[in-house]
Amino acid sequence: MAVLGVDFGTSNSAAAVARDGKPHLIALEAGQTTLPTAVFFDFDTKKMLIGTAAGKALLAGDEGRYMRALKSLLGAPLMRERRNMLGEKLDFIDIVARFLARIKTAAEAETGLRFDHALSGRPVRFHADDARNAQAELDLREAYARAGFDDVTFMYEPEAAALANRDVLAQGDLGLIVDIGGGTSDFTLFRNGTDAIDILASFGVRLGGTDFDRMVSLETVMPLLGRGSQIKHAFGNETHTAPTTIFNDLATWQKIPFLYAPESRRLAKDLEKYAAEPLKLARLVSVLEDEIGHDIAFAVEAGKIAANDAGNGAIDLSIVERNLSVPLGEGMVEELLDPMAGEMAHAALRTVANAQVAPEDVTHLVFVGGSSLMKVTRSALAAKFPQAKVHHGHALTAIVDGLGLASKSAFE
Ligand SMILES: Nc1ncnc2c1ncn2[C@@H]1O[C@H](COP(=O)(O)OP(=O)(O)OP(=O)(O)O)[C@@H](O)[C@H]1O
Ligand SMILES: [Mg+2]
């Protein structure tokens, strides 16, 4: 039976099979083994674009609807709300299903095999709430079914990363996988054996790089669009602070598309009308009119990464207004993200505590996931396990490597 290993990530997805005992990654786009988890409904061609093509259409300003971080919507009631998209009534499960179907087709074309079965990664906790967490897996399971898979089985993403990185450890060593991704942070404590690993505990939190983007945006970009500024009352001299929801949503990848509904545009216009600082709210109005919320999110993400790499940087907001940019001074990104990195470190400690292991006994810390490249996460995590040797696995492919390896025996 041919089983496809699939890492459906918040920001990036990938697929793999086992070949001669090693993971073989599928080329999902020209020469690329990772695929941005993004779609674009092109209103002109009536086609749904996927991955890099979706991002290109967004940047080109094509007429349509872009979506990223769809994984963060799993488990939410709106996953099953149907909307009109390119003349069809689709819910978000259909959209995820079409994305997964693209991966299936690419894998079948490359290998000549037929994949009726999938081994899918999943975060340890999509949500902290148990009911939502269970619903998220049901939603994802249904998306695999609608994508044409007869059956899917799930593996915790950090457990897959443990399989892919066990060679770094000697026999008997105790490793902690730290997978800081786009939407979640996931941890697995494992002991390396002769021909297998022993999983001692897995745990996770719903916090990742997209939350970093949200925090940076809320604190640095959204104030320029009127967050925190005063709105006058229609009568009298009273004022109140602009409502926060619209800014929170604009700073949150998966919520941006919903802001282009008429109600949000109307709210923004009302705020502008009574604003003590109308120039700021006028920016908000035009961001919604021009549908450039995702462009701002990409600018924030790029600023975050640049500031992390160089110590400081800037967020280029020329898409909003000529010459507009936000400086990210030395240490500013670290300071903003430090509380979240602290929560991630706390979750790592809890993973180890769940196995009744002392932090000092962890011999190896294995970092994977794109947001493990952030200095603030590395230092917060490493500080809790000072005795451990630090190893950096493949940031974007460690999970799919493990899923590929495990796919062979997933249904035995
Ligand atoms: N060079 C970099 N420096 C810092 N952060 C980065 C870098 N490259 C990517 N990221 C961040 O990593 C995150 C994506 O990581 P990754 O691809 O591991 O997530 P994912 O697997 O899609 O998400 P999840 O596992 O949470 O569902 C994004 O938030 C992105 O901004
Ligand atoms: Mg991931």
Residue range 392-402, pLDDT digits in tens = 999 999 999 99
Fold that domain 169-209+337-394 belongs to in CATH: Nucleotidyltransferase; domain 5 (3.30.420)
CA of 129 to the centre of ligand 2 (A): 20
Q: How far apart are CA 333 and CA 162, in angstroms?
A: 30
Label residue 117 by pLDDT band (50, 70, 90): very high
Residue 5 CB less than 6 A away from ligand 1: no
Burial of 72 (0-12, 13-18, 19+ CB in 10 A): buried
pLDDT at res. 237: 87
In contact, 183 and 155? CB cutoff 8 Å: no
Q: What is the pLDDT of residue 235?
A: 86
Counting ligands in written order, the one closest to the CA of 9 is 1
Q: How far is the centre of ligand 2, averaged over its atoms, from the C-alpha of 370 (Å)?
A: 8
301 ligand 1 Cβ < 6 A: yes
Q: Closest-lying ligand to the alpha carbon of 125?
A: 1
Is 369's C-beta closer than 6 angstroms to any atom of ligand 1? yes
Residue range 101-126: mean pLDDT, rounded: 98
Q: Which residues 6+ apart lie within 8 Å of 39 measured at CB?
A: 48, 49, 50, 54, 66, 67, 70, 95, 98, 99
Nearest CA to ligand 1 atom 21: 9
Q: 332 alpha carbon to ligand 1 midpoint, in Å?
A: 20
- Which atom, in ligand 1's list, is nearest to the CA of 368? 18
Ligand 1: nearest atom to the Cα of 34: 17
Q: Domain ranges in the chain?
A: 3-159+400-407, 169-209+337-394, 210-334
- Report pLDDT digits (tens) over 262-308: 999 999 999 999 999 999 999 999 999 999 999 999 999 999 999 99
What confidence tier does 239 reach under pLDDT thresholds 50, 70, 90? very high
Does the beta carbon of 9 lie inside 6 Å of ligand 1? yes
Q: Which residues contact 251 (CB under 8 A, 6 or more apart)?
A: 213, 214, 217, 218, 221, 222, 297, 300
CA of 181 to the centre of ligand 2 (A): 5
Whether residue 372 has its Cβ less than 6 Å from ligand 1: no
| Number of the ligand 1 atom closest to the C-alpha atom of 71 | 27
CB atoms within 10 A of CB 357: 17
Testing ligand 1's pocket by substitution, the residue of 7, 11, 376 carrying the most ligand atoms inside 8 A of its CB is: 11
Mean of pLDDT values over 34-56: 98
Residue 357: half-sphere exposure toward Cβ, Cα within 13 Å: 24
DSSP, res 168? G
- Ligand 2 center to residue 366 CA distance, Å? 14
370 lines ligand 1 (CB under 6 A): yes
Query: What is the rounded average pLDDT of the residues 223-252?
Result: 95
Q: Ligand 2 mean position to 233 CA, how many Å?
A: 46
Q: Is 209 in the pocket of ligand 1 (CB under 6 A)?
A: yes
pLDDT at 327 over 90: yes
Q: What is the pLDDT of residues 334-383, one digit of tens each?
A: 999 999 999 999 999 999 999 999 999 999 999 999 999 999 999 999 99
Q: Domain 3-159+400-407 belongs to what topology?
A: Nucleotidyltransferase; domain 5 (3.30.420)
The answer to whether 320 and 299 have CB atoms below 8 angstroms apart is no
The minimum-distance atom of ligand 1 relative to the CA of 301 is: 31
Is the CB of residue 204 below 6 angstroms from any atom belonging to ligand 1? no
Q: Which ligand is nearest to the CA of 392?
A: 1
CB 303 near ligand 1, within 6 Å: no
The reply to whether ligand 1 has any atom less than 6 angstroms from the CB of 371 is yes
Pocket test for ligand 1, best of 32, 99, 103, 371 (most atoms within 8 A of CB): 371
Cα(36) to ligand 1 centroid in Å equals 10
Q: Tell me, what's the pLDDT at 307?
A: 98
pLDDT for the residue 236: 85
Quote the distance between the C-alpha of residue 138 and its chain's center.
19
- Single out the residue of 18, 27, 347, 34 nearest to residue 164, CA to CA: 18
pLDDT in tens, 135-188: 999 999 999 999 999 999 999 999 999 999 999 999 999 999 999 999 999 999
